[in-house]
Amino acid sequence: VALVVLKTRADLINWRLNIAPKKRVGFVPTMGALHLGHATLLRQARLENDFVVLSIFVNPTQFGVNEDLDRYPRALAEDLRIAESEKVDVVFAPDVSEMYPTGHSTFVEETEFSKGLCGDFRPGHFRGVATVVLKLFNLVRPGRSYFGLKDAQQFLVISKMVLDLNLDIKMIGVPTVREADGLAMSSRNRGLSKEDREKAPEIYRSLLRVTQGSSSIAQEIDVLSKLDFKVQYYERRPFESGHLVAIAAYLGSTRLIDNILG
Ligand code: AMP
C-alpha cells in the first residue's frame, strides 16, 4: 500500500472515520527533518499497531520570539522517503494556517512538569507543545503515541496532560538514539559547523562522567564552558521511579539538549 500524504484536517478526519473501529492507530508527532531517532519511534509504532500516523509540523507556538523557527530545518521530500521506507500509513503535514486558522485563541497549559529545566529558558514552549499535541491527538485519535526520551520533560508534560484531561492514549517513551560518537540525534544537529559537530558529543561524555560519579555537575559546567558551550542548565532531578540528569547548552547558535535516565 502506498503512503498517504494529507494536508488538511478534513482529509485526516475522513481517513480516521473510514478505518475499522477495532484497528489500532499508533501516532508519532514530529517537526520533520527526520533522522534515525524518529525512525526508531516509527519502527516501534509499526510493531504495535495496525496503522501508523506520522505528523510533520513545525509548530510556531512552541518557539519563542528569539528562537530558531525560521531556520528550523525543513526537508519534506526526504522525510516522505523515510516515511515510506518505515511503512508509515499516513503522513499528516498541514500548513500553519490549517492548524492555527485566524482567530485561534485556545491553549493548553500543564503547570507542574513544565516548570524548571527547558520551561525556565523557553517561556511558553510547553504550552505550545501541549496545545499542538492535543490538537493532533484529537484529529488522529491514536491508541498509542510515541515520544523520545531525549525530550524527557516534554514526555512528562504530555503524559500529565493525557492523565489530567482523561485522554485514552497510551504514552510510549522511546530511549534516545545516538550517533556513533554519542551525540543525541536531533534535527538541530544539521545546524552545527564542522568544528562544533566534532565538539558536540562532549555533552554526552560529560553526562556519563556525572552519572558514573567521576565528576560533579559543577565541575562539568566548568569543563563545558571552557570548550565554549554556553550551558543553560545542568541538573539532576527525580524522574518517575529514578532520576534524570539533564543539560541544555548552546554550541554556536545551536541549542542542544540531552539527558541520562537512571
Ligand atoms: P522533533 O521532530 O524533534 O520534535 O521530535 C519528534 C519526536 O522524536 C519527539 O518525541 C522526540 O523526542 C523524538 N526524538 C527526537 N530525537 C530523538 C532521538 N535522538 N532519539 C529518540 N527520539 C527522538
Summary mean pLDDT of the chain? 98
**What's the confidence (pLDDT) of residue 168?**
98
Q: Which of 38, 104, 125, 243 is catalytic?
A: 38
The candidate with the shortest Cα–Cα distance to 87, out of 17, 131, 139, 39, is 39
C-alpha 95/C-alpha 101 separation (Å) is 10
C-alpha 142/C-alpha 136 separation (Å) is 9
Q: Which of 174, 189, 254, 259 to mutate to test the pocket of ligand 1 (most atoms within 8 A of CB)?
A: 174
Mean pLDDT of 46-63: 98
104 a catalytic residue:
no
CB 144 within 8 A of CB 172: yes
Instruction: Write the pLDDT tens digit of every residue in 169-207.
Output: 999 999 999 999 999 999 999 999 999 999 999 999 999
C-alpha 15/C-alpha 133 separation (Å) is 19
pLDDT band at 124 (very low <50, low <70, confident <90, very high): very high
**What's the confidence (pLDDT) of residue 228?**
98
Give residue 40 CA to ligand 1 midpoint distance, Å: 9
Q: Is 145 in the pocket of ligand 1 (CB under 6 A)?
A: no
Mean pLDDT of 108-114: 98
